[in-house]
Structures are given as structure tokens and as C-alpha cells.
Structure 1
């Protein structure tokens, strides 16, 4: 059993710890050994706190010995994306501007994990300012995909997804401001949830660059793992007033209600890899086989104004950072310096007009989810590409810009709804493909039910990249 600890899901790990067939320190050492042996090829973790993790694991073992575990995640290792603050650990955010920054306190979601006994092993790699769709930066270099280390795991939660997919940790935390959990989860064959705005409370973090459109979310191998994590950190907290009003995440429904599903295989004339369309279309058919009502058609939302104004959020956020730190333009990469300069030229009217655009879009999205319970799309328009390239320049033989691969995801951040990426197969080149499912605002629990029932019918947890099996 000890040689295959990484194959256990979170409930199995928790049960083994409570019954005493495994100790937290043994589980941790298993993962530390795997990190030391496998991460050199991947570059998932940019900071490893082995001694701090060992201390936390020993404390967990003391609780288990007295029969007083703190919760379902007690004693289980986790890695944290390097744009979330962890006390006494670096938070470099992929930029030379923060190369020497050490966090004084845990950001709220991290604090909730620590209070529940989670064993924090370290921080995972990101692109600079977590504003790109691949994972690489001038401080730590690029991260590879466990299914093919020459390719990217996507971004910006690339280090977090790669660590889970390779079995270096059983779960991780990421963030999603435009698809940064869902696309990378799809590229690596794991599950990634972007919760509703406020579902996981946030407080005490880095400067927000995407307003409330960026949320924290869990990454794991199974839907039930994600549900378990959400039961710990998806809770109301006075640190974030937006977190109030959600019901507690409960146990999975044994018989999920029949859903009205809209499957959208492409957005207008934006190119999509035909293999991805075929695998996602097959998955939509499988939902119909499971008893759901599946309709195919275009997304009945106007995305033009949201897409046109989307850069306003990041550019004004960077402009504020530049105004507050005289070192900004000297230390950050040129594209981000240029974005900050562009943001500084925007007016208050420009910014507030886009906020009004977001508000109107959220109203329109709410109407859509009165007609449908769930919208399905591919998680990405392209397969994973070379790890040192920021985006694939061509998709299905057509030129694609920096966001061409990401066309399916940022509208979900704009409206604030929950979205999940689940594996639906692998292409001819062996790379995983993810399907995105989106539900009404606040319907995170029902979305997990739907994804979990699909996983039960078409399981994927036993599919591992060759690298993970070494």
C-alpha cells in the first residue's frame, strides 16, 4: 500500500489515517520522495517547505492518536498556487517584482485549510502575475505537462494541475480569472472547479487584478475529492461578505435530477481542434444516455462587449500596482509594463462603463440559466502546445491570437457562475481533453452532482501519465 499511496483518493487517505493503517508523516514522506524524483522534469513546485510540512504531519498524527482529527483533510498534503499567500513562504507571483516577498500571514482560503489540518508542502509555479494561459516566468522557468513534459499544462494554474496529475500531491489550490483552473485541468486529465463568486471566501491576498472575476478553486483527481475540499473551504466567513447566502456543500445526490443541458461546440467562427469537438460531442451524447435532456446550439449570449472590454480589468490593475511601486517598470517583463502604461491612460469612465457591462452581462446570463440548467462546452479550443510558448498560434489550420485557445472560459468568470472541467478522453497524440460544464450562479453543489454522476458512469481516476507511474 505504501508504494501506491498516491493512487488513493482523499476519502481513502482520510480513512487510512483515521484507522491508523497510514500515518500522516508516512503519507507526506511518500509525496516528498515523489517530488524529489519526478519534479525535476516538470518544475511544478517553486518552493518546498519539507520541514514545515513534517511538523504539521506530526501534529496531525498526534490528533489521530487521540481520536481528535480536525476534519476530512486533516493530515493530507496539499500544494498552493504561488499567487495565494502562505505564512512564512515566498509568494513570487512569477515576477521579479516579488522575488524577495515573504508572506506574513495566510490568505483566508489557505488559513481555512490549515485550520482543518491540511499539510502544506509548498507553492506551485505560475506565469507572471497569473495573466497568461501557459505556465512559465523569468524567475523559475516553465512547467511541463506530466502527459508530455515538452508541452505546457496550460495556465495560470499550471504548476498546481501538473503536481496533481503527476501524483506529487493529492490535491492543490488554484485560482481562475479567465479559465486558469478549467483549461489546465483539461490539459492534464484532472478535475478543476471554478466556484461561484464568493463560494470560497477571500481576504488578505495579493492586489486583485481582475476585480471579483478571479476566484480560488480546488484541483484534484476526482469530483468527490473536489466536493470534499469544498466542504472545508467553501463556507461563509466574515472576512468576505460575498461568501454569505450559500448553502453548505453536502453529500453527493444518489440520483441527480434530470438536467436541461445546452451543448455548445464552438463560439461563432472561432477555430476549435476537430478532435476536441469530437470528444466533447461524444460526452454530450453520454449525458443524454444518462437521462438528461441535451440540446445543441450556439451560446445565446452576446460576448462581444465583454471580450472587447476584458483587458480593462488587468490593465487598470497593473496600472495601480505601477503607481504604488516605483520599481514596477524596471522589474516586470515588458508586456506587463506596456499593459500598465495602457491602463494608466484609461479613465474612470472607461473602467466604470465596463463594470456596468459586466453587470448587464450577469443579468443576461441569469436569464439563460432559466432556460437551461447546464451549458457544456470544450474546456479549451486547442490541445496543449510547447511549454515555452505562451499560446498556440494556429488552431485547426487557422491563425489564432493569444486568447484563441481560451475562447470558452472567460465568459464564466464575467458572469460569476460555477464551472467545472472534467476529463472526457485523450486525443490521438495521447493528451487529455476536458469538457467544461457551467451552471447557474450558486448551483455549485448541483454541478458537482452532475459531474460526479458522469464520472461514475465513465470513470477516469485510474488513468495516469507514464511519468507518474515511474
Structure 2
């Protein structure tokens, strides 16, 4: 299917907030429009698992009251936002996709949610995820499986599945995801939107993945990143300006050395040193995905007047080390205890991590493999400013599988092969984004991953924005085509 390209379907979140501040639109009217979109489309998508209509309307009315009084409001005033169900929301059910926490209602917001609310954003609900994020898809034992708005028979990727589907379908202009091994970038790629995993610690995480009181919730500490998922790069940059900054609650959090998140013009990138790798030296990649991403990288190099080298870090496959680090970050004893007490049967990758007998030597070996990956990558990045790769090894696939077992005619590990490019950003902590660069012949989105140097989040945003100018945005077949702000919405 050839989707309808439409630049007018999405309104940037800066424009939404300015319309609310100026009285052109009211926050309450935007919330009403959001829930109307969700009611019309989410019965097919299942992007949301929990909605907060009462709380969202209360928050919107408070924004409108502050504006009427002349009080200051934040840079995201009235902007509807969806929050992944792995990220805590005070007073709003947060299940982490697990029966173990089916009725859990946090008594505090995650740091990122607290900052979004303070900036005037309106949390409209929670988006679906795999159980505790263990699995790059959007199904669990609690809620219907999330579907891809480009084709309802296909996965949107995950584990930020609902966030990716919600933004792609135009249900919300901004959604928050978390990324321990590609869980922002993979659904962004498969859903045809922009998603960025900022540098490790750029956006603090608490209580998610840090709070020792909650087994499962407290997983992924050394790998997890939180990032925005949006229709445009500019929207992601504005969201990061609010989400970033240090917090005493997160020992990995970074100081606020970036104070201006505006995106530099493309001409500032002239002479940029670009490397492109279609397989990182070990991945099996769908030929159409490789061709689309390589062509996009060449177009970008031509736009910027710089040379594109075919090169990659001298890495071997690090999948086993990554899986071992995930196991080390997991409260395996606590999860086994909770499951036994509640009579819950854990499934999939999480269950296999709990059943396996891990050794201290295995953990040590994985830690030193990570050090090797980090050292090899920073040495490589001394020669280049950015590394470009496919975001995923294939486009979206069927809902009922963890991944394709055959790519490019070769048998591969179905659960991990399609994510071959993701974990490098989590092991190194380097900033990385997926930017949409085209569709396969049968209409499935393809993303290009842009990875930058240590702490160069603004560079990744700038290069992403340059790439964005080369492609016309498009809506999926199942998606809202109405502009966010209609005449007389104030």
C-alpha cells in the first residue's frame, strides 16, 4: 500500500504548546481530541493498556487556569504525552506488563514523568510493553498484543511497542520509551517514527530499574536509557530539553552541560566524518533493508558534502555477553519468590533467565567483554563523528513470533538476530537514534540508526534532522490524518 504523505497531519509539540499558551487552543480541548483519537483507533492497535481520562482532564484544566491567571506555564504546556508501562506514574496503574504487578499503583512518578508534568505536559495514559521489557515486542499476559499501524498483522517492535504505535498512528505527538537493548529504536524503525536513546544518564531513571524494593522493576540498571519517541527530530529535542539533567536518585545521571537543545543548521555538519556499516561485520541483514539504509546514508553524505566510508568497529558478536549482563542486572531470586508466592508462571526470555544457573565466572567474562566492546568502539569513533547502520536487520514481521528465523535466506536466532545493531549503544552508553528513511516494496518502514560520539546527543539530533529533510513524512494506513489543532479549538 502506498501511504498518504501529509506534512499537515502532525503539529510540532512546540507549536502545540505555543497555541495553548497564546489561547489559540486550550489544553482541555487537546485532551478531548486525544481521547477521541484513541477511542477511534486503539481498539485495533492496543497501543494503550491504561488510560487516565480523569487525571488528564484535571491536569489540562489546571494548565488552562494558570494561563487565564497569567501564571507561567512550561515549554510543553498542554502537550498530550503517553508513558510506557515500565515507567512509574504516581496514582496511575503501572503493571510493567506483568501479572506480578497487575494492580500496582506507584506512589511517586519516575523522574522523567515528574519533569514532563512540571513542564506542562498532560499524561493521558500508559502504553503497552513486554513483561518487564524482556522481549522486543508488545505482548504480555495482561493486555491484548499491540499491533503495527502500517499493517495490523505485524509487530510494532518493542519493548516500547505501545509508544511506537501510538505516535505512528497519531494518537499522541509524544511518547516516552525505555531502551535497554533497542527498545526505543526498534519500534521507532518498525513504526516509521523518530526515536532517540540519549547518552547513558542523560535522562535519569528512578524508580524504574533502580528501586531495589521491586523485583523486575529494578532490572536493566547498567543498560537502561529513557528517550522520547516522536514524529520529528525537533519534537524529540524539545522533549529532551525537559527530560535531561542530573538527579541524586540516579548515580549514572549526567550534569546539564547541554543548555541549548535547539538543532544546529545542516551547514554546521559539513566535513563530518561518516562511517556506514550494513552488518557491523557479523549481522545477517535483509537485502532490501541494507539497500535502503545505504542509499539514505549516501544521500546524507552528498547533502553535507562529506565522504562516507564503509567501515565498522572490529567487533565480534556480543549477544551472549549482553544477555549475561541482563541476567546480572535482574533480581532473579526476588522474581522467583514473587512468582511462587502469587502462583504466577513467568514466560519467554525472562523465564529462561530465571531458570538458568549462572556462575560468577560467566558474569565476570561478560563484564570484561563489555569493556572490550567499549574500548574498541571509542577507538573507532576517534576516526569518525558518526556510525550509520540499519536500525534493525529486517522490517516488521508477524505478531506471533519473536523475530524471523530466516533472514536473507540464512537461518538465524529468531529472538535476537533482527536486533543485531541495537545493543552496541547500550553496552557503550553512546547516543543513538533511529530515523525513518523509506519503505520496503510492500510498505513496511525502514529506519537508519545514527550513533554519535560519547555525550554528543546534539550531534545525533543535528544529523538526524539533516536526514529528515531528505524524506517526505508519511502516515500509516491506520492513523489519524487530522491536524492536532483545528480552527476554533481554543
Among residues 268, 273, 277, which one is paired with 2:290 in the alignment?
277
Match in the other structure for 2:322: 310
Q: Does residue 133 of the first structure (1) align with residue 114 of the second (2)?
A: no
Match in the other structure for 2:373: 361
Task: Write the distance in 2 (CA, Å) between the matches of 1:251 and 1:40.
Answer: 37
73 and 428 in structure 1: CA distance in 2 versus 1, 3 angstrom threshold:
same
Task: Write the distance in 2 (CA, Å) between the matches of 1:57 and 1:334.
Answer: 39
Match in the other structure for 1:412: 425
**Is this contact kept in 1: 2:298–2:308, CA < 8 A?**
no
Deviation (angstroms), 1:131 = 1.4
Cα distance per residue 1:266-299 (max 9 Å; x no partner):
1335321111111101111111111253434342
**Is this contact kept in 2: 1:6–1:169, CA < 8 A?**
no
Mark the runs of 5 or more structure 1 residues left unpaired by the alignment.
Answer: none
SS at match of 2:389: strand
**Is this contact kept in 2: 1:131–1:156, CA < 8 A?**
yes
19 and 454 in structure 1: CA distance in 2 versus 1, 3 angstrom threshold:
same
Among residues 411, 432, 436, which one is paired with 1:399 in the alignment?
411
SS at match of 2:252: helix
**Is this contact kept in 2: 1:322–1:328, CA < 8 A?**
no
Report the TM-score when normalising by structure 2: 0.90
324 and 355 in structure 1: CA distance in 2 versus 1, 3 angstrom threshold:
farther
1:69-108 to 2 correspondences below 5 Å: 69-108=72-111
SS at match of 2:204: coil
Task: Write the distance in 2 (CA, Å) between the matches of 1:353 and 1:247.
Answer: 35
Task: Write the distance in 2 (CA, Å) between the matches of 1:328 and 1:296.
Answer: 56
Match in the other structure for 1:210: 220
Question: Which of 1 and 2 has higher RCO (CA within 8 Å, sep 6+)?
Answer: 2
Mark the runs of 5 or more structure 2 residues left unpaired by the alignment.
Answer: 1-6, 210-216, 482-490
Among residues 374, 379, 389, which one is paired with 2:401 in the alignment?
389
Task: Write the distance in 1 (CA, Å) between the matches of 2:453 and 2:228.
Answer: 19
Q: Does residue 223 of the first structure (1) align with residue 233 of the second (2)?
A: yes
Deviation (angstroms), 1:160 = 0.3
Cα distance per residue 1:129-166 (max 9 Å; x no partner):
21111211111121111111111100101100100011
Match in the other structure for 1:238: 248
Note the aligned Cα RMSD (angstroms). Answer: 1.9
Deviation (angstroms), 1:324 = 5.1
Cα distance per residue 1:239-280 (max 9 Å; x no partner):
324323342342111233231010001133532111111110
Task: Write the distance in 1 (CA, Å) between the matches of 2:316 and 2:218.
Answer: 23
Deviation (angstroms), 1:354 = 2.1
Match in the other structure for 2:451: 438
SS at match of 2:96: coil
**Is this contact kept in 2: 1:81–1:123, CA < 8 A?**
yes
Task: Write the distance in 1 (CA, Å) between the matches of 2:186 and 2:234.
Answer: 19
SS at match of 2:268: coil
Match in the other structure for 1:297: 310
208 and 364 in structure 1: CA distance in 2 versus 1, 3 angstrom threshold:
farther
Among residues 428, 437, 444, which one is paired with 2:441 in the alignment?
428
Among residues 196, 199, 202, which one is paired with 2:202 in the alignment?
199
Q: Does residue 190 of the first structure (1) align with residue 201 of the second (2)?
A: no
Q: Does residue 41 of the first structure (1) align with residue 51 of the second (2)?
A: no
Task: Write the distance in 1 (CA, Å) between the matches of 2:67 and 2:9.
Answer: 20
Task: Write the distance in 1 (CA, Å) between the matches of 2:240 and 2:171.
Answer: 21
Match in the other structure for 2:387: 375
Count of matched residue positions in the alignment of Structure 1 and Structure 2: 462
Task: Write the distance in 2 (CA, Å) between the matches of 1:221 and 1:86.
Answer: 23
Task: Write the distance in 2 (CA, Å) between the matches of 1:150 and 1:20.
Answer: 41
Task: Write the distance in 2 (CA, Å) between the matches of 1:49 and 1:216.
Answer: 22
Deviation (angstroms), 1:123 = 0.4
Task: Write the distance in 1 (CA, Å) between the matches of 2:253 and 2:91.
Answer: 26
Task: Write the distance in 1 (CA, Å) between the matches of 2:113 and 2:179.
Answer: 16
SS at match of 2:222: helix
**Is this contact kept in 1: 2:37–2:480, CA < 8 A?**
no
